[in-house]
Each structure stands twice: as structure tokens, then as C-alpha cells.
Amino acid sequence: MNKNVYISSVSKFLPNSPVENEDMEQYLGLINEKPSRVRRIVLKKNGIKSRYYALDKKQKITHTNAELAFRSIKKLFPDEKIPEDIDVLACATGNPDQLLPSHASMVHGLMKNRPMELYSASGVCLTCLQAFKTAYLSVLSGVSSKAVCSTSELASPTLLSKNYEEEYEHCSKVGKDPYMAFEKDFLRFMLSDGASSVLLSDKKSENGISFKVEWVEMTSYANELPTCMFMGAELREDGELTSWKEFESRELINRSVMTVKQDIRLLKPNIIRCWVDHLEYCLEKYSLDPNDVDYVIPHVSSMFFYGKLAEGIVGRGLDLGTNKWFTNLTEIGNIASASIFAALDDLSSSGKLKENDKILLLVPESGRFSYGTVLLTVK
């Protein structure tokens, strides 16, 4: 198949004004009216200085997830008018506004343009490349000529203190230590809101930079490893999950079942090891010499893992030194699935890129350890 597919436009939308570290709990609230014991520890490790919330200081939502996605899609086009020739909309998120209907349906409803084919990818960070590959393959196959991939996250409402206070009070009443587990509390200071989008086309942009998509590769290690990051469930002793459907309504509140959690003990020995396994596999499969790569955009949840990933890559003898790396994590925070294209948008507008530069996009997902890599060429 000789057809070329290009990212002909890339955009991001970040809601409201940036929130600095010292102001976070003004938006997320205090659990039991006390400042978090882990906030400073987490922020020191993750290196994030500011982030964006689709909230006001009264903890009211200012933008739905679908609205975040819609706003980023509009920014793909110079006049913010979505044209009528979009064939496919593929949306990714880990935090849809509702269980049903699909996130993509809600975004399309806001677009209000012509009927089109829809896809929704659900999961954690790697949903961005799942949706991206769906849109890419549609154009590559010739079934469509233009497709939009949208990625968006509205995590902040799930991180509000009100979602943790019932469990805190319940633990106090039954004589348990009411201190929130680190696995729950630390994620409150890791996640941010925002959206990013790309327009995929069989033609290059007539104005500005385009990116030729060379290949997209993804690998899941769920066959080898148990669940690490989850929401709407509890982790059992045997490593499997108990679904929210099995709890009584009061238990859902008392045990904060609907908050996002991560098993840090499982994360540490596996996240980098499997990531470098996947990267090494991609380089070998596509016969890509690391010396030919000009830029690397790694999606990392914190600058702590930025350093650990660099160490892991060097340990395999791969020449992808951090002098080639680009990240905007410290300025805009961790937007999960929306992070990778938000970073590509900032790199694209930096003035650094030149024709034929090669860019690697690296995306991990700790849900049950999945990874994706994309190679782009500047055109």
C-alpha cells in the first residue's frame, strides 16, 4: 500500500487559567478540612509546576469532557469552523461524562456538522493511540480522506475532596486510620484536564507543517501482568478486580470505589522495563536506527519517570539521549490521553522543526501495562 497519511493539523485546548502548586487544594478541596500530607511529596517527585482544571474555586465544572474535546477540534481549523468533509471522528478518553452513550457520540453532537463514522476508545493513556490508529488506518485504506482524532480528559471532578470524605469519616467511625491510602491521595496531585486533537488527511497541509505518519505500533502486556491502575473497582488479594457492580450503593461511597487508584508496588518494577521492551521491539521491527531520530516525545506522568525511562533506554544500549527529548509536562501537567498530542502541538509551534525531521511519540499506560510508539516525519 503506497498511500501516505499526514497529520495536517494539531491543536490543544486547556481550560481556564493555569493552577499553581500552592493553589491546587483551593480547587480540589481539603479532605476533612485538612491539607494533604502527601501533596508536597508528590509534587517534588513529579516536577509539575502548574496544570489546568475545568473547575472554579467553588468546585463547579466549567467544561464537560465533550466540550473540552469539541474546543480542541475547532482549533484544528484556522477559522475554528469545522468543515463538512470530515469522514471519521475517533475519540479517546479515560473519563467520559457518562457510561452511555459513547463519548464520541457526545462530541459529534456538539460539532453539529454532517453525519460521519464514530469510534470511542476507552481506557487510560494509550486510548490516544488506539483512536489515532483507527483514524490513521481509515485514511490509509482509502475508505476516508479526512479523519479527526480527539483526545480529552476531565479528571478533576473525580479528585474533589467530596469524593473521599465519606470514606474518611467511615474509617474514623469504625476505628481505622482515616489517613487516605497513598495510592488514592497521590493521584489527586498528578492529573489535569485538557484536550488535544489531530487532523489526519491523505494530503499535506497547504499552510504550515505536516507530519507524515510512518507507522503506529502498540503492545499490551495484560497477558503477563495484573491490573495496576483502575477506577470503579477494588483490587482483590489475588490481583483481580471486584467491579463497582458488585457493591451496595453505600459501599461505593464509603470505600471511594469510583475514585482512580494505582498499585504503586506493581508500577515500580514493571512500567519502565516493559516500556523499553516495547520500544526495543519497535526499533527492530521497523529497522529504525536511533541515530536517525531527531526528537522524542515521551508521555510521562512525572519527571521522576522521565529520568527512569532515560536510564532504562541507556541500559539497553539505545542512542535516544534526552538531548533529543521534548516535554511540556511541568507547565501543563499530566493530561493522560491528551498529553502526547498536546506536546506535539507545542513542539510544532516551537520553530525548531525542519523538513524530514523524525519524531518518536512514546506512550505508556499503567492500567494493565500497554504501550504505543509512533514515528512521524516532518513534511
User: What is residue 86's predicted lDDT score, i.e. its pLDDT?
Assistant: 97
DSSP-assigned states of every residue in 15-28: -SS-EEGGGHHHHH
Encode the chain (379 residues) as per-residue pLDDT tens digits. 568 999 999 999 999 999 999 999 999 999 888 888 888 988 998 999 999 999 999 999 999 999 999 999 999 999 999 999 999 999 999 999 999 999 999 999 999 989 999 999 989 999 999 999 999 999 999 999 999 999 999 999 999 999 887 766 555 555 555 444 555 677 889 999 999 999 999 999 988 999 999 999 999 999 999 999 999 999 998 889 999 999 999 999 888 899 899 988 899 999 999 999 999 999 999 999 999 999 999 999 999 999 999 999 999 999 899 999 999 999 999 999 999 999 999 999 999 999 999 999 999 999 999 999 999 999 9
Contact 344, 378 (CB under 8 A): no
The pTM (predicted TM-score) of the whole model is: 0.95
Q: Pairing between strand 117-122 and 88-93?
A: parallel
pLDDT at 37: 82
**353 and 269 both lie in a single domain:** yes
Domain assignment present for residue 176? The answer is no
Would 73 be classed as within a structural domain? yes
Looking at residue 342, its pLDDT comes to: 98
129 and 275 share a domain? no
Instruction: Report the CATH number that the domain containing residue 109 is assigned in CATH.
Output: 3.40.47.10
Residues 6+ apart with CB under 8 A from 1: 140, 141
**Lookup: cell for 91:** 475519540
34 contact partners, CB below 8 Å, separation of at least 6: none
Secondary structure, 3-state, the chain? CCCCCEEEEEEEECCCCCEEHHHHHHHHCCECCECCCCHHHHHHHHCCCEECCCECCCCCECCCHHHHHHHHHHCCCCCCCCCCCCCEEEEEECCCCCCCCCHHHHHHHHHCCCCCEEEEEECCCCHHHHHHHHHHHHHHCCCCCEEEEEEEECCHHHHCCHHHHHHHHHHHHCCCCCCCCHHHHHHHHCECCEEEEEEEECCCCCCCCCEEEEEEEEEECCCCCCCCEECCEEECCCCCEEEHHHCCHHHHHHCCCCCCEECHHHHHHHHHHHHHHHHHHHHHHCCCCHHHCCEEEECCCCHHHHHHHHHHHHHCCCCCCHHHECCCHHHHCECHHHHHHHHHHHHHCCCCCCCCCEEEEEEEECCCCEEEEEEEEEC
242: in domain: no
For residue 251, being part of any structural domain is answered with no
Counted domains in the chain: 2
Grid cell 518494577 — which residue? 269
195 and 72 assigned to the same domain: yes
Same domain, 91 and 190: yes
Residue 254 lies in a domain: no
Give me the pLDDT at residue 177, please.
52
In angstroms, the Cα distances linking 271 to 30, 266, 305, 308, 367 are 31, 8, 9, 10, 10
- Alpha-carbon distance of 254 to 247, in angstroms, equals 11
243 lies in some domain: no
The percent helix, strand, coil of the chain (3-state, each to 5) is: 35, 25, 40
Domain housing 145:
6-161+182-207
Write the CA distances from 164 to 29, 148, 205, integer angstroms. Answer: 10, 37, 47
Judgement on whether residues 11 and 123 belong to the same structural domain of the protein: yes
- Regarding whether 196 and 62 lie in a shared domain, the answer is yes
CA atoms of 254 and 263, how far apart (whole Å): 20
The closest of 243, 250, 211 to 227, measured between CA atoms, is: 243
In a domain, 304, yes or no: yes
Amino acid 232: pLDDT? 96
268 shares a domain with 134: no
